[in-house]
Amino acid sequence: MTINLQTLKCAECGSSVLTRTGLNQYECAHCGSVAVVEDDVSARLDRVLEQVKDAAADRLAKEQAARGAQQIRMMGLAFGAVVVLGAVVFAVSAFLPKSRSGAAIAPMAAAKVDRTIPVDGLKLGEARQVLVGSGSSARPRLFVLARNETGQALETPRVEAQFYDGETRLGTRTESLPVALLMPGESAPLLIDLPGGDQAVTRQDLTVSRLSAPHRAVEGPALRFARVRLVQQKDEVRLVGRLVNTRTDATLTGLQVLATAYDDGGVPIGFGRGYVQGSELRPGERSAVEVRIERFGGSTPIAAWDYRIDQHVSAADGSRNAVLAADRVVRTVGAPEAFNPELRMSTEDLLAEDAERFNLAQLELLPLIPGVNTIRQRTYMTELVNRSKDLIAVTPAAVISRFDGNTLDGTTRLDGMAYLYPGERMPVQVDPRRADRITQTRVEWKPMRAAALPGPRIPLEVRVTGTEAQMGSVLVNFSQRFSYKAVLVKGEVKNPGAAIVRKARVWVSLRDKTGRLTGFKPVDNLPAIGPGESVPFEVRVEQQGDDFATVSTVYQSNE
């Protein structure tokens, strides 16, 4: 740390709160950095610190005096208002009809609503320590199930836990239930962080914090997903759902979802909370939500799951009213849908309707083409072809499992394109890991959406302007040198449209005289292309199969 003597600020974080902690030693109260200075600098710093303290004291005294004067003025105004109000009430009461006893009928004072609810109505189940997550990232937490037996809706109940090691108190944690409202009869799971370090927790005392009813609430129907799926990829479980505001009289806000997973005995083994995309949902609008479920049941299979949706409606004055909906917990018996963990699936991919999906039978992975790489190792190439006549495959992706006989050699992930148009071929490299050969493959496709022509892709014109056959060599471990053939391909990409193409990719493929793939390489460094402009590209493609005869390209463009 260095200290600026002119502004008296820490150069590390800019804080001006400095404290002398030793001989010629000063510490920043904000970031904790320490500076050691010379004797003369220390003397000057002490004088500056004293001046800062004096200035702070003067400033504090002035602020206190100003606040005192402001309070006196406010008290005077309040007293005057009370006198005026009393005169008005007296004058109005003179004209009010008398009661039978002859006294004037006074106006009714506004009753103050007490929303406090006795805490013993929130029943806490037996607490147990669990490991949340898996592997080295798992962390210990305390799990407890809370049930609302108050007969009233509760607004975000809170539970306090005091942890002990024997008679030694380790600390206190307070956590809110993962719901905006807990309806009568509902149960909700809760996870509380355990004290950190190597401290052993032998017991805990749980107490319910002050309970209250929602400040503003209205009765309303329960909100349910128009489409919902629970999917699992290895240890990751997530719920995806689509919401539609079918109400014509209200805008929905404050939408959040609690999803809970159970084992075959009905014991919670995971839960998660998610929020709907966007801050509000107007009548007729739809949105999506994704909830990642934290598992704390180890490898126990999920046998059932449920979800509930908290919702609010916007009032005319701009405030929000919580919706009190009965029977809002939707339960499903069954395991989640399992997918290969290497597949990248978006919420839109999973929630697409059947009519919106691409027919996977229209995708063909061509037979493997054997070749050798630059160090003479066995490799294979193939192409993904869209056989559809009029539909575009949106974000095509798959996992290719490689086999040598019946032995699994590993997997290759196929992805990288946002769209595959009818008739287009996307080149794919498939390298063995342990085996000397690949005798068969199995393909697991991800759920894919379809788009009709002309589609959302910005049209580009890709032109190859020249090719040059080359020879190259590579030295391995300073002992073996391998020679290989390559082709330098030059070309240009033109944007004939009226919109700027900010990101474009081109795959350049070499083909032999029979049209089979013999090498390919993507061009990823293209700049943004303005309307009517062209940009050149140059790429060196290693030849892995027979000698090339032609060059083909396929492109990807986004705004």
DSSP string, 20-77: EEETTEEEETTT--EEE--HHHHHHHHHHHHHHHHHHHHHHHHHHHHHHHHHHHHHHH
Output the pLDDT for position 479.
83
Identify the pLDDT of residue 375.
85
| C-alpha closest to that of 492 among 463, 468, 522 | 463
pLDDT in tens, the chain (559 residues): 444 444 456 655 556 666 666 555 666 765 555 565 555 555 556 565 555 555 544 555 565 556 656 655 666 655 555 454 555 445 445 444 443 333 333 333 333 444 578 899 999 999 999 999 877 778 889 999 999 999 999 999 999 999 998 889 989 999 999 999 999 999 999 999 998 777 788 899 999 988 999 989 999 999 999 999 999 999 899 999 999 999 998 999 999 999 999 999 999 999 999 998 777 899 999 999 999 999 996 788 999 999 999 999 988 787 889 999 999 999 999 999 999 999 999 999 999 999 999 999 999 999 999 999 888 889 999 999 999 999 999 999 999 999 998 899 899 999 889 999 999 999 999 998 877 789 899 999 999 999 999 998 899 999 999 999 999 888 888 788 888 899 999 999 999 999 999 889 999 999 999 999 999 999 988 999 999 999 999 999 999 988 999 999 999 997 5
- So what's the pLDDT on residue 374? 87
Q: Are 496 and 462 in contact (CB under 8 A)?
A: no
Question: pTM for the full model?
Answer: 0.70
Q: Per DSSP, what are the bridge partners of residue 412?
A: 400
Q: What is the pLDDT of residue 134?
A: 77
Distances (CA, A) of 292 to 273, 311, 340: 7, 19, 17
Look-up of token digits 């950095």: 33
Tell me the torsion sign for CA atoms 95, 97, 103, 104.
Answer: negative
Instruction: Please report the pLDDT score of residue 318 as a whole number.
Output: 78
Name the nearest CA neighbour of 207 among 267, 266, 119. 119
CA–CA–CA angle 229, 233, 237 (5° rounding): 55
3-state helix, strand, coil in the chain (%, to 5): 15, 50, 40
DSSP state of 81: H
Which residue from 178, 139, 176 is spatially nearest to 268, judged by alpha carbons?
Answer: 178
- Contact present, 303 and 264 (Cβ < 8 Å): yes
* Residues whose CB falls within 8 Å of the CB of residue 409, separated by 6 or more in sequence, listed in order: 402, 403, 432, 433, 434, 435, 438
3-state secondary structure of 314: strand
Strands (E), 320-368: 320-324, 330-333, 337-338, 363-365
Sign, CA dihedral 56-58-62-68, equals positive
3-state secondary structure of 87: helix
